[in-house]
Structure 1
Amino acid sequence: MLIDVHAHLFTAGMLNRHPFWGPAMKVQGLTVGHFSLGTKQRKTAANDQEAEANLLARMTHAARRELMAQRGVDHLVLSTPSHAFMYWAEDFGNTYARICNDELSAYCAQDPAHFSFWCHANLADPQEAAREIRRAVTLLGARGVCVGGANFKGLQAHDEALFPVWEVLAGLDVPIMVHGYNQSIWLGEKHHEDRFETSSIVGDCVDETLFFWYLICGGALDTFPTLKTYITHAGGMAVFQLGRLAELNKAMAPDTRNRRPLLDYLPNFWFDLDVHTPALRRGVVDVVGVDQLLYGTNFGGAYDNGDPTRDLGLDEAQREKIRSGNARRLLKLDVI
Structure 2
Amino acid sequence: MLIDIHAHMITPGMMNVHEFWGPFMTTNGFTVGHFCLGTSQPMSGTDEEATEKLLTKMRHESRRKLMADRNVDKIVVSIPSHAFMYWAGDFGNEYADLCNQELSNYCAKDPEHFAFWAHANLADPTAAVKQIDHAVRNLGAKGVCVGGANFNGLEAHSPELFQVWEKVTELDVPIMVHGYNQSIWLGDDHTSDLFETTSILGDCYDESLFFWYLICGGALDEFPNLKTYITHAGGMSLFQLGRLNALNKSMAPDARNKKPVTEYLDKFWFDLDVHATTLRKAVIDLVGVDNIVHGTNFGGAYDFGDPTAGLDLSNQDAEKIRSANAIKLLKL
Same fold (TM over 0.5): yes
Distance 1:314 1:39, change over 3 A: farther
Contact 1:38–1:197 under 8 Å retained in 2: no
Q: Which residue of 1 aligns with 2:19?
A: 19
CA drift at 1:279: 1.0
One-letter code of the match for 1:272?
A: D
Contact 2:28-2:43 at 8 Å conserved across structures: no
For each residue in 1:7-30, what CA deviation from the matched residue of structure 2 results, as whole angstroms up to 9, or x when unmatched? Answer: 000000000000000000110000
Shift of 1:251: 1.8
Does the 8 A contact of 1:8 with 1:78 survive in 2? yes
Give CA deviations for 1:114-143 in whole Å, capped at 9, x if unaligned: 000000000000000011000000000000
Structure 1 residue 44: deviation in Å? 4.4
Distance 1:5 1:305 in 2: 14
Is residue 168 of structure 1 aligned with residue 167 of structure 2? Answer: yes
Q: CA contact under 8 A between 2:307 and 2:322: conserved in structure 1?
A: no
- What is the rounded CA distance, in whole Å, between the counterparts of 1:36 and 1:283 in structure 2? 35
Q: What secondary structure sits across from 2:196 in the alignment? A: helix
CA deviation after TM superposition for structure 1 residue 264, in Å: 1.1
Q: Please say if residues 278 and 308 of structure 1, whose CA atoms lie closer than 8 Å, have aligned partners that are also in contact.
A: no
- Cα RMSD of the aligned pairs, angstroms, is 0.9
- Secondary structure of 1:196's counterpart equals coil
SS at match of 2:153: coil
1: CA distance between counterparts of 2:256 and 2:231?
25
Q: TM-score, normalised by structure 2?
A: 0.99
Matched, 1:130 2:129: yes
1:36-66 Cα distance to aligned partner (Å, 9 max, x none): 11237x7544010000000000000000000
Structure 1 unmatched runs, 5+: none
Q: Counterparts of 1:38 and 1:23 in 2: how far apart (Å)?
A: 13
**Counterpart for residue 91 of structure 2:** 92
State the alpha-carbon separation in 2 of the partners of residues 259 and 136 from structure 1: 33
Q: What TM-score results when the alignment is normalised by the length of structure 1?
A: 0.97
User: Helix, strand or coil for the counterpart of 1:276?
Assistant: coil
- 1:97 Cα offset (Å): 0.3
**Amino acid corresponding to residue 26 of structure 1 in structure 2:** T
Seq. identity, %: 66
Determine the C-alpha separation between the residues in 1 that align with 2:95 and 2:10: 12
Instruction: Tell me the CA shift for residue 194 of structure 1.
Output: 1.2
Task: Within 5 Å, give how 1:210-249 maps onto structure 2.
Answer: 210-249=209-248
What code does the residue aligned with 2:16 have? N
Rounded Cα–Cα distance in structure 2 between residues aligned with 1:27 and 1:307:
33
Shift in Å, 1:195: 2.3
Q: Secondary structure at the match of 1:136?
A: helix
Structure 2 CA distance for aligned equivalents of residues 271 and 111 of structure 1: 27
Q: Distance in 1 between matches of 2:293 and 2:39?
A: 29
Q: How many residues align?
A: 332
* Cα distance in 2, alignment partners of residues 301 and 330 from structure 1: 24
Aligned position for 1:66: 65
Structure 1 distance, partners of 2:239, 2:163, is 30
SS of residue paired to 2:269: strand
Whether the 8 Å CA contact 1:102–1:140 is kept in 2: the answer is yes
Q: Partner amino acid for 1:145?
A: V
| Whole-angstrom distance in 1 between the partners of 2:39 and 2:216 | 37
